[in-house]
Structure 1
C-alpha cells in the first residue's frame, strides 16, 4: 500500500476507535448522561466494541490502530519499517479527530459536568495510585498481553477475526485495567489528550502532561516485547 492509503485507513480506523471509546467513557461518567454510572465493565465492553469497529474500518492496512501494535509488528517482522511513519501519523491524527467528535456529541454534558477530572477522564487515562514506575510496569504487562495474544491468533488453524481482538481488549480491561485505566495504545491516550488541551471545554482544568509519557512509553515497550516473543515462539 502507498503512504496515503495506509494513512487514510489508519486515520479512519483509529478515529472510529477513539470516537466510540471516548464516547462510552463519557456516557458512563458525565452529568445527565442516560448511561451515567454504567460501571467499569460497561467501559470495558465499550472499548472492546470500539476496537471491533476500528479493526473493520482499517482492515485494508492491517488494522493496527495502535502505535504499540505497529512497533510490535515491525519488530516481529510482519510490518515493513518503511511503512511505520504512515501508520503512526494516521493513528495519531485519527485519535485526535475521533476524540474531538466524541466531545461534540457530548458537548452539553461537558458543559454541565463540574468535575475537571471527569472531563479529562473521557479523553485520557490516569492512575488510581500515582507511582510512575509501577504505572509503567502495568502498561507494559497489559500491552505485552495484547500483542502476544493477537499474534498467537495468527498461529491458529482458523481465522478468529476482529471479534477475538475485541474480546481480548475487554479481558485486558477487566483483568489489568484497574491500576491505570489500560491505555495499551499511545495514540488512544495521547491523541485525545491533545484534543482535550486544544478544545474549548468549559472548566476543563489540566491535561495532566506529567503523566502523559507513561501511556506512551509503557505500551510501546510492551508491544515490542510481545512482538519479539511471538517471533521467537511462532
Structure 2
C-alpha cells in the first residue's frame, strides 16, 4: 500500500513515540526506586515492550503502515522494490518518534529518576533507555541481535501471506505477541533491541536529558543495536524471498 509522505511522517513519529513511551516506561517502572512495579522482572519488561508494539503499530497503521522500526522498513523495502524511495523518510520519522517517546517516559518517571540519583550514586540509568549487553562481546552481541531480528522479520513477512490474518488488525496483534516471545526467549544476552530506533533514539535522549547521576550513555556500544538489527532484517528478508 502506497502511503502519502505526510502521513508516513506523522504516523511513524506517533507510533514510534508510543512504542518507546511504553518500553522505556516499563523499564523505568521495574528498575527505578519508589516505583510500584520495582523489581517486577524481565517477564514484565518483555510484555511492556510487546504492548508498546501493539499500541504503536495499531495507531500508526492507518497512516503509515505501522512499521515503527527501521529494520522492518528495510525488510519491506528489500521485498518491495517500490519502498526504497521512502525508506529514508520512514527511518527519520522513527528516530524522531523514538526520542520523543523517551523524553515522555522520563517526564512520567521524573521523580523516580531524581530519587534514583539521590539514593544510589553508583547506579547509572542507561538501562532504562537503551540496551546493555550482559557479556560485552561485540561479535556475539551483533550475532544475537541479528538472529533475534531475523526471528522477527521472517515471521512478520510470512504473516502477510497467511489468508485472513490481516483482517481486523489481527496481524498486528500477532506481531506484538511475537515481540514478547523474542524478549522472553532471545532477549537475555543483549536486552533485544531488534529495532535501531528503539535503542538509538532513547540513547540520544539519555545523553541530552538532565538526569541526576545518569552515568555514561555508552556510545562505544551504540553501533551494535543498529548494525545487528539491520543485518538481521536483510537475513530475514533474504530467507523469505528464497523460501516463499
Does the TM-score normalized on the shorter chain lie above 0.5? yes
Whether the 8 Å contact between 1:73 and 1:79 is mirrored in structure 2 is no
Match of 2:185 in 1: 175
Cα distance, 1:23 vs structure 2: 0.3
Match of 1:52 in 2: 54
What is the Cα-based RMSD across aligned positions, in Å? 1.2
How far apart are the structure 1 equivalents of 2:122 and 2:164?
46
1:3-25 CA deviation, whole Å, 9 max, x = no partner?
A: 22211100000000000110001
How far apart are the structure 1 equivalents of 2:47 and 2:29?
13
Whether the 8 Å contact between 1:70 and 1:79 is mirrored in structure 2 is no
Matched, 1:139 2:142: no
Match of 1:201 in 2: 211
- Normalising by structure 1, report the TM-score: 0.97
Match of 1:72 in 2: 75
Structure 2: 5+ residue stretches without partners:
none
- Normalising by structure 2, report the TM-score: 0.93
Whether the 8 Å contact between 2:98 and 2:201 is mirrored in structure 1 is yes
Q: Which of 204, 212, 221 is the equivalent residue of 1:211?
A: 221
Cα distance, 1:77 vs structure 2: 1.4
How far apart are the structure 2 equivalents of 1:18 and 1:79?
28
CA separation of 1:169 and 1:78: change in aligned 2, threshold 3 A: farther
Residue aligned with 1:80, SS: helix
Match of 2:65 in 1: 62
Q: Which runs of 4+ in 1 moved over 4 A?
A: 115-118
How far apart are the structure 2 equivalents of 1:115 and 1:26?
16
More off after superposition, 63-72 vs 223-232 = 223-232
Cα distance, 1:117 vs structure 2: 4.8
1:165-186 CA deviation, whole Å, 9 max, x = no partner?
A: 1110010001100000000000
The number of aligned residues is: 234
More off after superposition, 69-78 vs 198-207 = 69-78
Summarize the alignment of residues 39-188 of structure 1 with structure 2, pairs less than 5 Å apart: 39-59=41-61, 60-77=63-80, 80-113=83-116, 114=120, 117-159=123-165, 160-188=170-198
1:172-202 CA deviation, whole Å, 9 max, x = no partner?
A: 0011000000000000000000000011111
